[in-house]
Chains A and B, each alone.
Chain A
Amino acid sequence: MMLQLAYRLIVLCFAAFLVRYVWEEKNVWNQVGAAVVLVLFVLRAFLWK
Chain B
Amino acid sequence: MKGIGHWRGNRLTAAASLLLGAMIGLLSVSAFRGMWEPDPVFPSPWLTRKAMLADYHPALKNTPGDTEVFVFEGGEPGGSLLVTGGVHANEAAGFMAALLLVENLKVEKGKVVVIPRANASAFTHSEPQEGSPQRYGIEVPGGVRSFRLGARLTNPVHQWPDPSLFRTPAGQIVAGAEARNLNRCFPGRPRGSLTEQVAWGILEVIRQEGIGLGIDLHESSPEYPVINAIVFHEKAAEMAAVAQMDLQFEGLDFRLEASPRNLRGLSHREWGDHGGIRALLLETPNPVQGRLKGRPTPELVVTGRDPFYLKAAGLGRLFIPYDTAGAPLSWRVARHLAAVEAILASLEEVEPDLAVAWSGLPEWRAVVEQGVGAFLRPGTGGGPRTDGGGGVAGQAGGGARRPPQPGRP
Q: Which A residues are within 8 Å of any B CB, using their own CB?
A: 19, 22-32, 34-36, 38-39, 42-43, 47-49
Residue of A nearest to B32 (CB): A47
| Residue from the list A19, A25, A43 in contact with B9, Cβ < 8 A | A25
Q: What is the 8 Å Cβ interface bit string for chain B, positions 38-77, against chain A (1 contact, 0 not)? A: 0000000000000000000000000000000000000000
Instruction: Give Cα distance in the complex from A29 to B13, angstroms.
Output: 10
B175 at the interface (CB under 8 A from A): no
B29 contacts A28, C-beta separation under 8 Å: no
A29: chain B residues at CB < 8 Å are 5, 7
CB distance from A37 to the nearest CB of B (A): 9
A19: chain B residues at CB < 8 Å are 18
| Residue from the list B7, B22, B33 in contact with A39, Cβ < 8 A | B22
B21 contacts A27, C-beta separation under 8 Å: no
Q: Which B residues are within 8 Å of any A CB, using their own CB?
A: 5-9, 11, 13-14, 17-18, 20-22, 24-25, 28-29, 32-33, 157
| Residue from the list B7, B11, B32, B157 in contact with A23, Cβ < 8 A | B11
Residue of B nearest to A38 (CB): B21
Most buried by A among B5, B13, B17, B24: B17
Can you spell out 23 A-B residue pairs with CB atoms less than 8 angstroms apart?
A19-B18, A24-B14, A25-B9, A27-B9, A28-B9, A28-B17, A29-B5, A29-B7, A31-B9, A32-B17, A32-B20, A34-B17, A35-B17, A35-B20, A36-B20, A36-B24, A38-B18, A39-B21, A39-B28, A42-B25, A43-B32, A47-B33, A48-B157
A28 contacts B8, C-beta separation under 8 Å: yes
User: Looking at chain A's contact residues, is the secondary structure mostly helix, strand, loop, or mixed?
Assistant: helix
Residue of B nearest to A48 (CB): B157
If A19-B18, A22-B18 touch, whether A31 touches B13 (CB-CB below 8 Å) is yes
Most buried by A among B6, B21, B157: B21
Residue of B nearest to A23 (CB): B14
If A22-B14, A28-B7, A31-B9 touch, whether A39 touches B24 (CB-CB below 8 Å) is yes
Instruction: Give Cα distance in the complex from A27 to B4, angstroms.
Output: 10
Instruction: Give Cα distance in the complex from A38 to B21, angstroms.
Output: 8
CB distance from B23 to the nearest CB of A (A): 9
CB distance from B136 to the nearest CB of A (A): 23
A43: chain B residues at CB < 8 Å are 25, 28-29, 32
Instruction: Give Cα distance in the complex from A19 to B21, angstroms.
Output: 11
Residue of B nearest to A20 (CB): B14
Most buried by B among A23, A30, A31: A31
Instruction: Give Cα distance in the complex from A47 to B35, angstroms.
Output: 12
Instruction: Give Cα distance in the complex from A24 to B9, angstroms.
Output: 9
CB distance from B101 to the nearest CB of A (A): 34
